[in-house]
Amino acid sequence: MIGAILLLTLPASAFKAIVPVLIAISLVLIVFQPRLTAWIVSRRRTHRPHGGPLLVAGIFATGIYGGYFGAGQGILLFGLLATSLGGDLRHVNAIRAVLAGTANLIAAIVFLFIADIAWLPAVLIAVGATVGGLFGAGVGRRLSDPWLRAIIVVVGLAAIAQLVL
């Protein structure tokens, strides 16, 4: 909800500087996820399991970002979850999908009541996102962790290039 309200109140150029940086940070998390996960798992014996308050704060911040702009939100969430939770990336990807979907649904509800919506583009984006999400989830379940990681990095780099160029 906070992200959606920020989108409606801040100037349109506000996200141009931060979005590529957030996507780049998430890609670094994805690339180094195996090492970071191993370190986190080794610390779990004496520290908080499941990422603790830093993961919760990161998910909250990513929810704000998702309500604001959304592009790269999934990559950022995936990076946070993969490095904090460890385990199978397909399981992490499912958690990411639920969290991102929830943030997007809440933002959409805010926009329904507050914003002037261009309905045709909104419907096309919703249909495309739904079909892509269903198709992507099916593909993601079949991929090995290295392949899934590689595809995420390529998509993230393409998103950065699209935003910067």
Sketch the domain layout of the chain as residue ranges: 2-164
Cβ-based neighbours of 59, under 8 Å, separated by 6 or more? 77, 80, 81, 99
According to DSSP, residue 71 is labeled: T
C-alpha span between 61 and 107 (Å, rounded): 14
Q: Which amino acid is residue 122, in one-letter code? A: A
Question: What pLDDT does residue 71 have?
Answer: 67
Question: What pLDDT does residue 159 have?
Answer: 86
Tell me if 27 sits within 8 A of 153, measured CB to CB: yes
pTM for the model stands at: 0.66
Question: What pLDDT does residue 86 have?
Answer: 65
Question: What pLDDT does residue 48 have?
Answer: 55
Question: What pLDDT does residue 99 have?
Answer: 92
What is the Cα 90 distance to its own chain's centre? 15
The mean pLDDT values, 10 residues at a time, for the chain of 165 residues are 88 77 81 75 59 84 85 77 74 87 90 90 87 82 86 88 85
